[in-house]
Amino acid sequence: MSADEPVLELESMDKHFKTTSSFVETVKETVFGEGPKLVRAVDDLDMTLEQNQVQGVIGESGCGKTTLLRTVMGLYDPTGGDIRFQGQSTSEFGKADWKEFRRKVQIVFQDPFNSLDPKFSVRRTIAEPLEIHDIDYDRSDIEEMLEKVGLTPASQYIQQFPNQLSGGEKQRVAIARALVTDPEVILADEPSSMLDVSTQAEILNLLNGLTSEFGVSMIYISHDLSTVSYICDEINVMYLGRIVEKAETRELLSDPKHPYTKALIQSIPIPDPHHDRERATIGGEPGDPIDMPEGCRFKTRCPERMDVCDHTPRDVDPDGEGERSVACHLYYDHEATTGDAEEPVEEHTPETPT
Amino acid sequence: MTDPILEFEDVDIRYRTEKGNDVHAVNDASFSINRHDYFGLVGESGCGKSTIADAIVGGLDANGEVTSGTIRYKGEEIQDYSEKEFNRNVRWKEISVIPQSSMNSLDPVMKLSNQAVEMAKYHTDLTKTEAVDRLRELFEVVGLSESRIHDYPHQFSGGMQQRAIIAFALYLRPSLIIADEPTTALDVIMQDQIIDYINGLKDDWDISMLMITHDISVVFENCDSMAVMHGGQVAETGSVVDVFDRPRHPYAILLQNAFPDVRFPDRELAVIDGHPPQLRGEVDFCTFADRCPWAKPECREGAPDPQAVAGDDDHQAWCIRADEMEELAADHLDRNATEESILEGER
């Protein structure tokens, strides 16, 4: 593997779920020639995770963040597209490849209260992945790992059980368990959202140092933009299965392009009574992922709605520097480019939002 | 000048346990909420904030009890009210509650309209039709479609359920609403809308609010005054501007700096080491002493008395070193002045 090759690449990855597995429904669908109804949880998603990079994914509940993570893990088979790990497609993986993949790609779950086995001591929790992957270890390796995630003195924690640990300590054990196999990639599913503010800060600081200290890359998903901005180099904004905007963290916060990103940023409360925040104007909740509107999926809530939004927007680079992309009709000249818009597009006048 | 609607004075709340090892959940808590004010109560899990809310409406668990101090609502002491008195004089009519998880506080097998009818039956003389009509009006106030009042709760999304709960909280026109983490289960955009509705109530309905949350940013944005709690003790109370500009309790200082602020992604977050103590037995010490970087031996020798900050009786810190804090915590206090926000239009 060369040094500048991305660790993980997702190329037009899809994960669609059928809404029914009933025999009768399936026959009906076949007889009447209509395809099965699909939940397009993740749709045509591209992402490249470079070495030592932290990619953030944010979006509201139900936008497909967790499905994305599970598909990358191999817990779901993607229904389309390709996942390449260190250059090799996971669809070509054999059993041994998967085992190696699982060693190199580790996950930290949202809820530390449920993701640790209550009957496993800290020592056994951390030793388990080592045993599974036939890695030699002794007690001092485990203690060293615990010290690295800030559980000091390690000798005090090593014999404890999850019920003796606080939420923050549990999450540290979960992080230690993920790091102990020397992985290349950590997948983090809102690892700080269940914790109190003061503990959350500890976990965020710990995660923040992971890439430099352990040389891992990370995909970090969350619904909370203010925590994501502490951790991530680049942020992907996801809406109903699609990434609508991708940019470097500061760029995204200081100059959001997509109307949804703007609304997300405007909705974050600012811990400062002197700050007068302009509230977002968009309403409602994400639509139903089964019967999604044609074209842009955000159009039903978008304050900038135009006629052209009935066509699927292409990913465009708003400032032409190749650094960021946004899937919104506002940012390209429809006469000069022909994209997903199949028919000639008339001039677009902004409508009043409904 | 001040006209308090709810006052806590030296309130102790205990939970009895079988082994006689009582939990002193709230110790010597004092604060007051002025009429027409929104008051924020912040602190981490287990600090006693929900216990306080429960005590106000007489909803403590069977083993919980206000053992000393007074809780006054509109000047009247309510801490010793019986169940019947709470029902007749306080609950819903005067003080209503927006609970934490709306999903679990609506009856899942009852249409929303019937839930309104039931409430009207116990607390008012309204007929069934009038009861449903009143709910219909309130649905409009909170931005729900009137046509949905005969729906069941599961037909609503999380945000809609939360609005329905707000409609119920307003149903008997109370003067004070206790909102216990009203938006934690919601997405940011929905949270913002709900908070916006809650803010509108203040003038439209002449409401005072006790907003309980762990999210200090929601309090700073929406409340007039606030209290910070730690380990069953009130740490600091005052107007939000005072507590923000001149925090004098170490916990209030560190908590503010532990909170991520989207405007400053490069800022180092403050870490508060350790955990709050188990509040078994007499609490005659500062509960923050073990976590406090500036603790002295005296901090463990007695529960701290309130100190007025800068001579202002409305801004108090329960810390024996409050006067020295400006100097001791200087590194933690000057952050906002030196940094620039990265958000659009603010540079």
Q: Which residue segments constitute the domains of chain B, with CATH numbers given?
A: 4-94+174-338 (3.40.50.300)
Contact B159 A196 (CB under 8 A): no
Give the pLDDT mean for A313-320: 84
pLDDT tens for each residue of B76-124: 999 999 999 998 889 988 999 998 777 788 999 999 999 999 989 988 8
Mutation target to probe the A interface, by most A beta carbons within 10 A, among B44, B145, B217 is B217
Q: Quick one: residue A236, left, alpha or beta (phi over 0 = left, psi -120 to 50 = alpha)?
A: beta
> Chain A partners of B240 at a C-beta cutoff of 8 Å?
273
Is residue A338 predicted with pLDDT exceeding 60? no
Nearest residue on chain B to A224, judged by CA atoms? B188
- Residue B54 gets the label, from left (phi > 0), alpha (psi -120 to 50) or beta, of alpha
CB proximity list for B238: less than 8 A, separation 6 or greater:
B225, B226, B309, B312, B314, B315, B316
For residues B342 and A117, give the distance between their C-alpha atoms in angstroms, rounded to a whole number: 42
Topology annotation, domain A8-239: Rossmann fold (3.40.50)
B24 has which bridge partners?
B14
Cα B44 to Cα B251: distance, rounded to the nearest angstrom? 11
Q: Any residues with CB less than 8 A from the CB of B334 and at least 6 apart, and which?
A: none
Chain A residues in contact with B159 (beta carbon < 8 A): 285
Lateral strand order in the sheet of A325-327: A105-108, A185-189, A217-222, A54-58, A234-239, A242-248, A325-327, A315-316
Q: What is the mean pLDDT of residues A243-249?
A: 93
The answer to whether B207 touches B176, Cβ cutoff 8 Å, is yes
First to last CA, chain B: 40
Determine the distance in angstroms separating the CA of B261 from the nearest CA of chain A, rounded to an integer. 6
Of A31-35, A187-191, B47-51, B112-116, least confident by mean pLDDT is A31-35
- What is the mean pLDDT of the segment spanning B195-213? 90
Cβ-defined contact of A250 to B195 (cutoff 8 Å): no
Q: What single letter denotes the amino acid at residue A337?
A: T
Question: Cβ contact (<8 Å) for B244 and A273?
Answer: yes
In tens, the pLDDT along B216-262 reads 999 999 999 999 999 999 999 999 999 999 999 999 999 999 988 88
A348 vs A183, residue with greater confidence? A183
B212: tokens are 């309980």
Q: Are strands A38-49 and A8-18 parallel, antiparallel or unpaired?
A: antiparallel
Mean pLDDT of B132-142: 91
Is pLDDT of A352 > 50? no
- Give burial (CB, 10 Å; 0-12/13-18/19+) of A300: middle
Q: Is a pLDDT exceeding 90 seen at residue B295? A: yes
pLDDT digits (tens, 9 = 90+) for A113-171: 889 999 999 999 999 999 999 999 999 999 999 999 988 889 999 999 999 998 889 99
The answer on pLDDT for A249 being more than 50 is yes
What is the token pair recorded at A16? Answer: 């669609």
| pLDDT of amino acid A353 | 44
What whole-number distance in Å separates Cα of residue A23 and Cα of residue A155?
57
Quick one: CA torsion of B168, B171, B176, B179, rounded to 10 degrees?
Answer: 10
Alpha carbon of A245: minimum distance to chain B alpha carbons (Å): 16
The CA distances from residue B251 to A115, B42, B318, in Å, are 30, 11, 10
CB contact under 8 A, B265 and A249: yes
Residue with the bigger pLDDT between A321 and B328: it is B328
Q: Tell me how crowded residue B206 is: count the other CB atoms within 10 A of its CB.
A: 11
Listing DSSP states for B50-63 in one string gives: HHHHHHHTT---TT
| Average pLDDT of the residues of chain A | 86
Report how far residue B233's alpha carbon sits from residue B211's, in angstroms, rounded to the nearest whole number. Answer: 17
Q: How confident is the prediction for chain B on average, in pLDDT? A: 89
- Using a CB-CB cut-off of 8 Å, the residues of chain A touching B255 are 197-198
ipTM passes above 0.90: no
Q: Say yes or no: A224 contacts chain B, CB-CB below 8 A.
A: yes
> Is the model's pLDDT at A343 over the cut of 50?
no
Q: Is the pLDDT of residue A341 over 80?
A: no
Helices B128-141, B158-170: crossing angle, 10 deg rounding? 120
With contact defined as beta carbons under 8 Å apart, do B24 and B6 qualify? Answer: no
What are the sequence ranges of the domains in chain A? 8-239
Q: How confident is the model at residue B337 (pLDDT cuts 50, 70, 90)?
A: low
pLDDT at B278: 85
**B256 to chain A: which residues are within 8 Å by CB?**
271
**Confidence (pLDDT) at A351:** 43
pLDDT score, position B294: 94
Taking only the tens place, the pLDDT of each residue in B298-334 is: 999 999 999 999 888 899 999 999 999 989 988 888 7
**CA–CA separation, A275 vs B154, rounded Å?**
38
**Other Cβ atoms closer than 10 A to A288:** 11
Which of B190, B196, B342 is the closest to A279 by Cβ?
B196
The shortest C-alpha distance from A201 to chain B (Å) reads 6
pLDDT value, residue A26: 77
